[in-house]
Amino acid sequence: MNGPRVRVSGLTRRFGGLVAVNGVSFEIGAGEIVGLIGPNGAGKTTLFNLLVGLCRPSEGRVELEGADVAGLKPHRVARAGMTKTFQNVALFPELSVRDNVMMGGLLRVGLGEARRAADRVLERVGLTAIAHKPAGALSLPERARVEVARALCTRPKVLLLDEVMAALTPTEMEEIIDLVKGLRDEGTTFMVVEHHMKAVMSLCDRLLVLNFGRLIADGSPTQVTRNHDVIEAYLGSSFAASHRNADIATEA
């Protein structure tokens, strides 16, 4: 398919007098991992919710491979191929990992096929050995993988990751980063909200930066971390300085 996988144009969401997402436009190509960053309250969660149908836009379009999905219910957007992981939405603690993951598949297919899909996905994300473990007994990195697996079970073309690496150690983050890059190489497009800048920088090909609902930057991690508006609004000058020093050390 030619053209971008996702095209967002003039997307706006108002809550009363507050404009949480304000005229945002961008495109995402099929092979990309795109990070969405910005300060608390910038509109990241609202933008994700608009993309997957959890929130209706006040204005604007969301196209997935050319089809307008703005305003569709989440299960219809998921069937069209775009879904997100659910930060802080409890897994069913007494159900097994496999049954939790299978729930994602039930959005698209019947029970038998959903079970087979869950088994394939569990194998792919490295969870087969703990498929029968109750979800309530998982470690944090296992939980992160289960959240990704549950979303993958809907067979997304575009998967939005909502802070799946929160509270992980650097080594655990590296493992999730490797997993996501591998899945991208197999054809899934990713958008990622993550507060941990080191993880964002190492995972993402491109960054979008929101501030007060507006898109203030769209570029490579290096371009964005050198952008004056982004440093002012979000990163702070100490991050920029340490990043510049790291660049100089690498270049030397």
What minimum distance in Å lies between the beta carbon of 198 and ligand ATP?
A: 17
DSSP state, residue 89? P
What minimum distance in Å lies between the beta carbon of 241 and ligand ATP?
A: 24
For 90, 100, 105, 110, the CA distances from 136, given in Å and listed in that order, are: 9, 11, 20, 25
Task: Give the interface segment with ligand ATP, choosing from 37-45, 67-75, 147-155, 228-236 (CB under 6 A).
Answer: 37-45
CB nearer ligand ATP, residue 6 or residue 210: 210
Question: Going residue by residue from 42 to 71, which x/- string records binding to ligand ATP, judged by CB under 6 A?
Answer: xxxxx-------------------------
Rule CB under 6 A: is residue 111 a binding residue for ligand ATP? no
Rule CB under 6 A: is residue 24 a binding residue for ligand ATP? no
Write out the DSSP string of 120-151. HHHHHHT-GGGTTSBGGG--HHHHHHHHHHHH
Other C-beta atoms closer than 10 Å to the C-beta of 170 total 10
d(CA 39, CA 209): 9
Task: Give the interface segment with ligand ATP, choosing from 15-23, 27-35, 78-86, 139-147 (CB under 6 A).
Answer: 15-23
CB nearer ligand ATP, residue 43 or residue 60: 43
Beta bridge partner(s), residue 63 = 7, 68
Beta bridge partner(s), residue 215 = 210
End-to-end CA distance of the chain: 42
Count residues binding ligand ATP (CB under 6 A). Answer: 11
Structural tokens at position 144: 């992160």
Rule CB under 6 A: is residue 4 a binding residue for ligand ATP? no
Of 9, 12, 23, 41, which one interacts with ligand ATP (CB under 6 A)?
41
Handedness of CA 128, 130, 132, 134 (dihedral sign): negative
| Chain contacts with ligand ATP (rule: CB under 6 A) | 15, 18, 20, 38, 40-46
